[in-house]
Structure 1
Amino acid sequence: MNDRVNEWTPRTRAVAAGRPSGPGEPLNVPIVPASTFVAGGDFAYAREEGTRTWVALEEAIGALEGGSAITFASGMGAVAAVLDLLPAGAGVAVPTFSYSGTRGLLDHAAKQGRLKVRRIDPSDREGWAAAAGELDLLWLESPTNPTLELIDIASLTGGKARVVVDNTFATPLGQQPLALGADIVVHSATKLIGGHSDLLLGLAVATDETLVAGLRAARTRLGATPGALEAWLALRGLRTLPVRLAEQSRTAALLADRLAGHPAVRRVSYPGQGTMIAFELADADTAEGFCASLSLVVHATSLGGVESLVERRARWAGDAHVPPGLIRFSVGLEDPEDLWRDLNQALG
């Protein structure tokens, strides 16, 4: 890694960290489609050490988050590796409103008797403070998925519980949980880091070398290794994250304000920055009709791409407890006035 990376702003790190250097080196790290390497070098077998493509992405994300990064085949691969570090019978707290995949994996571990899971409302400060002193791990999201509530990360660190933060929505440019005292940060790089809805990839970042080694060992043990193309695409997406995030956030702030003033919208949740908006319509049928009436905004799951997406999250079994009319809106790079015209006619 470039020795001056710590002198750069986050925007510059996103563009330049992990880039090859030296005479004759390529400007961008190449895709290394290899599973095995000639003995005697830094790499032997990709499932163990990775490839130069993975390493470049890990260097760049590590520089942004302030730790050592480990790549995984998907965001859920990173989640599974973090939970794999816990001993049998460990207690874990998770927000009531949070990513359904994470809660599903925790519920599965609880049914097997491997973990004890406590669900806590994101706004329950006393409940979270108690969990920090009683349990083994706090799984935090801030903003939460899909309700976009905020949790005070710094107030929950330094206690008995290990603190893990899913930073997918905020990205390393919007929030750096390790600097707030968190132990591990995870990302679905499928989302904003990749930014183009064309890859599956996960990341975990930590500063403690024991945790870093444990996460790498879990990746090998679970077989959650990313593809060379996916790692390369995620690194290429990261290079434009600063400008994408800034532009999409400006549009999101504008649309959140307009949605809040629309008579068909009951409530809008927007944390003041980022690309995600949550808003509630009257009921499930109204929300489904709204999604079906859009012509520019796409009705699809996932988020963080250059295209705007909406969905009624309660349609999924894992999110059946979410308000039935809640729409999760991932704001893309389209012209904000075109987006508003489409939203406005669908609301009508």
Structure 2
Amino acid sequence: MDWSLRTRAIAAGRPAAPGEPLNTPLVATSTYVAGGDFTYARESGTPTWVALEEAVGSLEGGYATAFASGIGAIAAVFELFPIGAGVAVPTVSYSGTRGLLEHAEKQGRFTVRQLDPEDTAAWQAAADEVDVLWIESPTNPMLQLMDYAALTGRRAKVVVDNTFATPLVQRPLTEGADVVVHSATKLIGGHSDLLLGVTIAKDETLARELRDARTRNGATPGALEAWLALRGLRTMPVRLAEQSKTAALLAERLSQHEAVTRVRYPGQGMMIAFELADAEAADRFCASLELIVHATSLGGVESLVERRSMYAAESHLPAGLIRFSVGLEDPEDLWRDLERALG
């Protein structure tokens, strides 16, 4: 059946045979009795990983592979490309990705070109010149949108980090992208209690190469983490719907507050970026919150804020920029906390 994405999040990867458990169990083993489909977990995986991969692959429309972390998944994608490959990456994007690329460039492995994420013409030119286009849309943390559909079908492979949007908002593989990456630590897991990454490839050949990279490097997810991510995935549609509704409300109110100089909200999703006058004002704001937590990461049920320019890798960002991950608290409670801290 051609189920909706909301239904797939519940039903995909679930046991179906008579007498099987309703939910995929946590299979905690490193090895298996010889003669079956599973042999050694690092090489063949576990039933828990397989269930998670089936569910995420169904949502994105491709072949999924789970990794120990989001950065582990990103590193595996870069292994698809040969020494000397050219990679284009947004100037404003996840610092972990740019850090990996900077290290690879120092080693002579890649040549890296950083481009304005909103300059589609520059990206189109690069698509005919480099080997890989690394896309974020929305970008982390500025929430800029990129027209990745205009970049497919050219020389370069297109990889999209879909962590912020999730397949519930956009499905890049259906628009010509070759690989999608998620930090499942974030919205897929949804409860700030695990580290896990996922790649989803458009075709089986790429998926097989990514699985080989996982096996070689031992970047395998833990059994508990995979089970928690699968459980979190089941509620992602309802969580994201509520978080997005609250985010839209708070973005509108923040845009009218005199202490806020700019609000960036792409119109959907649970992430907001807003700017205060300077770093001092942003730090004072973060320290004054009582309900919203000053912490890194995003996508959980709790609301989190952070001034990203405090990190050396993101010192080029506006000094007063606040990245705000909107959780599932009552919207009016969140606004009272924001308004008091802004004052």
TM-score tier by shorter-chain length is over 0.9
Q: Is 1:126 equivalent to 2:109 in the alignment?
A: no
Residue of 300, 322, 325 corresponding to 2:320: 325
Deviations 1:58-86 (A, max 9, x none): 00001000001000000001000000111
**C-alpha displacement of 1:127:** 1.2
- Point out the more displaced range, 116-125 or 146-155: 116-125
**Off by >3 Å, runs of 4+ in structure 1:** none
Residue of 135, 160, 169 corresponding to 1:174: 169
| Pairs aligned (count) | 343
**C-alpha displacement of 1:101:** 0.3
Q: Is 1:294 equivalent to 2:285 in the alignment?
A: no
**C-alpha displacement of 1:317:** 1.1
Specify the alignment match of 1:77 in structure 2: 72
- Point out the more displaced range, 193-202 or 16-25: 16-25
Q: Is 1:108 equivalent to 2:114 in the alignment?
A: no
Residue of 321, 326, 334 corresponding to 2:329: 334
Structure 1 length-normalised TM: 0.98
Q: Is 1:96 equivalent to 2:83 in the alignment?
A: no
Deviations 1:295-337 (A, max 9, x none): 0000000000000000000001111111110000000000000
Specify the alignment match of 1:304 in structure 2: 299
How many Å separate the matches in 2 of 1:187 and 1:26?
28
Specify the alignment match of 1:44 in structure 2: 39
Consecutive unaligned residues in structure 1, runs of 5 or more: none
Specify the alignment match of 2:279 in structure 1: 284
How many Å separate the matches in 2 of 1:180 and 1:319?
30
Specify the alignment match of 2:55 in structure 1: 60
**C-alpha displacement of 1:262:** 0.5
Kindly indicate whether the alpha-carbon contact (under 8 Å) linking 2:177 and 2:202 is maintained by their aligned counterparts in 1: no
How many Å separate the matches in 1 of 2:244 and 2:202?
29
How many Å separate the matches in 1 of 2:50 and 2:16?
14
Across the aligned residues of Structure 1 and Structure 2, the Cα RMSD in angstroms comes to 0.5
Q: Is 1:203 equivalent to 2:227 in the alignment?
A: no
Q: Which amino acid aligns with 1:214?
A: E
**C-alpha displacement of 1:117:** 0.4
Deviations 1:256-288 (A, max 9, x none): 000000011011010010000000000000000
Consecutive unaligned residues in structure 2, runs of 5 or more: none
Residue of 29, 51, 66 corresponding to 1:34: 29
Q: Secondary structure at the match of 1:238?
A: helix
> Sequence identity of aligned pairs in percent?
74
Kindly indicate whether the alpha-carbon contact (under 8 Å) linking 2:89 and 2:115 is maintained by their aligned counterparts in 1: yes
Specify the alignment match of 1:315 in structure 2: 310
Q: Which amino acid aligns with 2:132?
A: L
Q: Which amino acid aligns with 1:175?
A: Q
